[in-house]
Structure 1
């Protein structure tokens, strides 16, 4: 039996996935602590141990690994050299070759393998594509997901602490000349995508009025803090609760599910801004499918449906006639597992290239 391995390293947690030669995803680990503040050594050790533990649960060993790929947040080079990656302390991680470090970590355990690298946004798009096209079999994909063997292209955005993205075209993930493709969060939005002037004043990277400054947890915290100071919301329950504005922003999903007007307004604004961003993206790509992933997938069903409807309405309101025929946006079929599935899919691809 041959096994292929994908790893997704996040700023907070990491995950390992294992598949077999029949393109079946056999194992997705529980998330484990990245512990990035401790530096690369403990993480590489934890990843190697997680791989071997997963193999052991399947009755396999490291000697049966055929290919490995690791994904991390960008930016990074094509070869896996991290470049001041968000949520990874620059003191330890800037200019660190995580691909080579994992290769050395496995080699130290006696497993001599060429490790591959992919950015996590690109991996999320590839994971989504691989499951939806039937190239990989994933038993835990979202109920009701249709398999489409003719699917050739998609763009996926991941709404989380920030906003990432990735593209698949002609069945292949797009990485770009230097591995930087997919940074949708840094596209610029028009002024009317924001309710208040204050909302446009969140600087992300080197720019204001970006997609990420409207569509992310960071954006929600920025906007919530301002709204709670307005006369309209002075009596809102969040004003009397302890914690930072960011802590309060993390409660917005449950408040929206309970019908809270302020929480619903914030998610409505986010959905409309995202619709404009997805139109910009589709103007360039003309995709078969546009997928929304990340934390918004976990909104309560009614809030989720409203979010999707408003994003689609905003897209069509601003679109040229020839682009209004996009059927609809879809939420991720893979949830939080999309990046690790994409890393696994890229491991399969590396075998195809080698052959």
Structure 2
């Protein structure tokens, strides 16, 4: 049956590695096997685009799918954007990428490879990751989905009933990680964020970016802890917290408990504006290969309990807070899905 079906490709471009995923024309996933390819951003934009095409070509060969069946390609790439498909200065990419028209360059390269025009859609990687997870969590339903993915920073996405992300008029929509936290409820000072804001961005209290601040404050209460005795920089000590938490270390668990509480309050905050049916929690803390079942269960429970008092009664009864399931494939699959949805429109 697959011999006559069209396929839609998703490219997820990170600063270090790029991933490829795909869906058939009915939205089902072609493969759950992760295919990665070096991004080679240090070699400049042309080398990156060439690598994307090579990765797609390798993926199609593995799946025994011809280029003539590719009906669209989606690209998930970190923002910010100057305008649709044109990159602005990014903290994760060399300066040569500022002003690069990635949409035109990728569409041209794909068309040359396929021997015909190939439609390309471009979107923020966090938004498109939410598209992939939304399809998994709601199945054939149309309930809206918020995705929050704590990692180095806080990825945020809102997916509407059509399966499309809220991008905003300047393509900066759902930058929820840089909304201010309710510091008076959390009982903490306003730590500075890497974005330059000093009002207490949610990202600082929920992700790796803020762990050095949280750990430094916590170690003042625990001067005998092994991390208090370490002479390593605070950022390096913060990297050890996840491993310690898996071993039951009380200090590490208390910090992640605080982060889960801060994230739960943010869930309630976003629910006031977006009223989703589902909230998907992703990121490294939800990775079964990196954290234990017990850790993930405890973390999600704190998120739910922290959000609940601030939700409307109907939201407490009807909104589900669940873990992500696609892992590293979410953004590539989401990009492929948006290419499919755009083709239908």
1:41 and 2:46 are equivalent in the alignment: yes
Q: Give how far 1:151 is off.
A: 3.5
> Which digits, 9 at most, give the CA deviation of each residue in 1:259-298, with x for residues without a partner?
1111111101100100111111110111111111111202
1:160 and 2:164 are equivalent in the alignment: no
Structure-2 residue corresponding to 1:219: 210
Query: Using a 3 Å threshold, how does the CA distance of structure 1 residues 37 and 242 change in structure 2: closer, same or farther?
Result: farther
In structure 1, what is the Cα distance between the partners aligned to 2:229 and 2:43? 36
Unaligned regions of 5+ residues in structure 2, if any? none
Unaligned regions of 5+ residues in structure 1, if any? 135-148
Q: Give how far 1:193 is off.
A: 4.8
Matches within 5 A, 1:261-276: 261-276=250-265
1:172 and 2:163 are equivalent in the alignment: yes
1:5 and 2:5 are equivalent in the alignment: no
**Contact 2:277 2:319 (C-alpha < 8 Å) held by counterparts:** no
**Contact 1:52 1:61 (C-alpha < 8 Å) held by counterparts:** no
Give the SS at the match of 2:35. Answer: coil
| TM-score with structure 1 setting the length | 0.87
Q: Give how far 1:336 is off.
A: 2.1
1:339 and 2:344 are equivalent in the alignment: no
2:74 to 65, 69, 77: 69
Matches within 5 A, 1:59-208: 59-76=64-81, 79-89=84-94, 91-111=95-115, 112-134=117-139, 149-173=140-164, 174-197=166-189, 200-208=190-198
Give the SS at the match of 1:69. Answer: strand
Q: Give how far 1:85 is off.
A: 2.6
Query: Using a 3 Å threshold, how does the CA distance of structure 1 residues 242 and 96 change in structure 2: closer, same or farther?
Result: farther
**Contact 2:85 2:103 (C-alpha < 8 Å) held by counterparts:** yes
Query: Using a 3 Å threshold, how does the CA distance of structure 1 residues 196 and 336 change in structure 2: closer, same or farther?
Result: same
Q: Give how far 1:327 is off.
A: 4.5
Q: Give how far 1:17 is off.
A: 0.7
Structure-2 residue corresponding to 1:307: 299
Q: Give how far 1:96 is off.
A: 1.6
Structure-1 residue corresponding to 2:281: 292
Q: Give how far 1:152 is off.
A: 2.2
Give the SS at the match of 2:20. Answer: strand
> Which digits, 9 at most, give the CA deviation of each residue in 1:28-53, with x for residues without a partner?
43333323233222221211111000
1:238 to 214, 227, 236: 227
| TM-score with structure 2 setting the length | 0.89
1:324 and 2:329 are equivalent in the alignment: no
